[in-house]
Amino acid sequence: MKALTWQGKRSVDVIDVPDPRIQEPTDAVVRVTTTGICGSDLHLYEVMAPFLDPGDVLGHEAMGIVEEVGSEVTNLKPGDRVVVPFQIACGSCFMCTQDLQTQCETTQVREQGMGAALFGYTKLYGQIPGGQAEYLRVPQAQYGPIKVPEGPPDERFVYLSDVLPTAWQAVEYAAIPDGGTVVVLGLGPIGDMCCRIALHRGHRVIGVDLVPERLKRAELQGVEVLTYSDEVADEIKDRTEGRGPDSVIDAVGMEAHGSPVAKVSQQLAGYLPDPIQRKMMQTVGVDRLAALYLAVDAVRRGGTISLIGVYGGMADPLPMLTIFDKQLQLRMGQANVHRWSDQILKLLGDEDPLKVDGFATHHLPLAEGPAAYEMFQQKRDGAVKVLLMP
């Protein structure tokens, strides 16, 4: 089959790889009909190279048609239309029963000290072949895949794999009070969807980004927008009675603008041998923390910061004195897809209040995946969300 594979830093290619097959009785094989490129895929494209091997199949946002199921998969049958959550969870362990599917004790990558395995996402999360391919082997298929109805186009449902539950959890964790204000830092696909969900719930939303097309796109949804600058924290406070917003969602993560020293550290690390890079990523502060610092500065005292942008360093310096003094609450983590999927599915009917139809800016064949990664990474051509069709 054809699959989009990592080949090196800033290098991906579509190549022939072996077709997936049933390996365990809880497996399924899905023929992928639509698959997304996620903002966190760009971390693999750029920063997380030491945790990948050439030929690794990328992608964790897939949906399609079930082709085959293992003997213990009784909830699915060939022909079912399904969305595949980005995490691999069993549904029955202690963590899954706590609705913490990203901490699944059956698929935890214990040798790396990490949580549940993820599709298409490095040695840290199990190095499981991903969904930017013609076919996908789905472990723990007795629980993971979400059946969706026939009829509406894939774009109505594919975001259940990651974008929708990730943004939903970010808004939940932000604990925005009734009538409250939330600032969303970063208006890529996750930040954009966070804005839509918060607006749907009746909150006041202020969005911050550097890219004019993204700011305009959010503004058309009813978001108050601000262009990122050194003075943006003061502008936010000016719009919130000098106090700051009740909540801030950091949808930027490890590659924020405005972190020149950390940017140089990331670039220099890229010249080191992989084993040294891996050690550095796991023991040294290598993230660009400008967005997190901005969140801490801007949020009101007693407010909440919801971190949904991906961070990777183990020893990043946090402004703990300010966090403590302002009595802030921080919530974070990979989204627990099944925890939120039933609530989200109710909003994917004909009325489409979150406007997922048309959310993607680009629909491209899988063969154009390499060009799509480059375009998305460089934020060209108004790229916010790219969907690939195998």
- pTM value > 0.75: yes
Spatial separation of the C-alpha atoms in residues 339 and 99, rounded to whole Å? 5
What pLDDT sits at residue 315?
A: 53
Let me know: does 326 contact 269? Beta carbons within 8 Å.
Answer: no
* Mean model confidence pLDDT for the chain: 91
pLDDT of residue 281: 55
Tell me the two tokens of residue 40.
Answer: 């966190």
| Nearest by Cα to 343 from 354, 332, 357 | 354
Residue numbers in the chain where pLDDT is lower than 50? 256-268, 271, 284-286
pLDDT digits (tens, 9 = 90+) for 166-214: 999 999 999 999 999 999 999 999 999 999 999 999 999 999 999 999 9
pLDDT value of residue 257: 47
Q: DSSP secondary structure string, 115-140?
A: -S-BBT-TGGGT-B--SSBSEEEETT
What does 286-304 look like in DSSP terms, one character per residue?
-SB-HHHHHHHHHSPTT-E
Distance CA 191, CA 75 (A): 34
